[in-house]
Structure 1
């Protein structure tokens, strides 16, 4: 999305929020002059009143075309606008948990840039109508780390395969330093667990139930109808069992530079050379922790956690540049 498109999108979001706030606080209408003076995005038009009014009229028309029921009228010779609340509210919804999950995940994809406001406000509007997403107890925002790091194409392919009950093949990389392997699965569903998003199903290569972290999956391809059904077992339990069975643990050695990272230091043992040792911790937790407090925590070992930390930091820097 170009910078001009982002600016226009943000202005439209701001304008919509102004109408919603006015409606909820009992204001029956907003004048064009008030909107130009108070809504962010029109301030650069000060001193150019007619240009600002033209931009406002164009924005109102675009919102009307998008389905926002704004009524324009004249009062005491001045232009006024009002939101028709009754036409904007959604009727009560009756979505299945699976349908609500798809809509919620679709909203989560738009977690950066100007589209996020529309995506999230759309989900909140659906939720207000009674929709509930079947992603455990993890709130939507907690999944943003996984959603931001995964390909929308992967999610689209997984949701399509799940809906059509298909068998899939995919590439999987357990860690950034691990080799990429091709796997096969009868997909049963998507599950959120501890702020992470997993796909769950029957692993044909291992001959057992398995869960895979979705952001480590790529090149998903449907290969035919699935041959294994999930039965009545809760998919969340399958994820927990898989994590418990295959829970990798590593010893992490780090230095403290700059501000002390008290929460991490409290869990570590200080070494004679001034470094700190964390014994038998989850490698992904260690990488995220080090990236979150960088540069105050500097990893010394193991190499795979250092590589994952660097990958997280590079991803964060890339996201920051895209939003500038």
Structure 2
């Protein structure tokens, strides 16, 4: 529905800008396919008035001309609807170039490259030789998951979605109904924060655990969207970043460097030449993270963390 409305507004704007003379509502209705599909005259009038107000709210100057062959006419004069020229200095242009390169692994790469080409054609300082000075900077945002683009659009358009999701300790995926709020990349993984309708609570989903197609659903959100969605904070809580205690684990030598980086104490070779013992902060969700290291980690204490990791590994093995 959001895409259809955007297309209708674009067609109306093009008609008003391209006509060169005021157009009546009758002429506009006959020129725009979406208006032709409207059944009654009253429904068309309401839709047209809403569309006209939306374009004006977006900044388009639409003039009303009285007594045009007995009808009211509408026109958007080009000289009153031109944006000021875009001017960028070398540093701003370099920042745009780096931003475009961030999306080279996503389907947004085409749009980003097209935008740079248009700026370059307009005389912006984006020539290749100027970008070479920044060649040492190679920013990347990995967005290889198939769920990334449909979820990004759903967040933008405020559309509920459904998808199949497998938790780290589950053998099979379950269908989730979610009102998506925001996407964020954290430690090399994309996460979605939103309202889980079935559980009636905020949840965070890792995109790499979404299987199958993300399906959009009609209807409005049932929960209010927070003014600020702290995706990283939510992921940190679920990943055990907000520690409530200490855990002691045995880690295979030469493995688990992210765990070593968080360790508050390391006893190298404490359990033989192949194993080290670590103390790490313990919080909600740590078990899911430890389970990802498989046979390289053995949890010593606390007992509930050890049981959690064992249950997760057994669930994966059964799947």
Query: TM-score category by the smaller chain?
Result: 0.3 to 0.5
Structure with greater Cα Rg = 2
Structure with greater helix share of residues: 1
TM-score by length of 2: 0.42
TM-score normalised to structure 1 length: 0.41
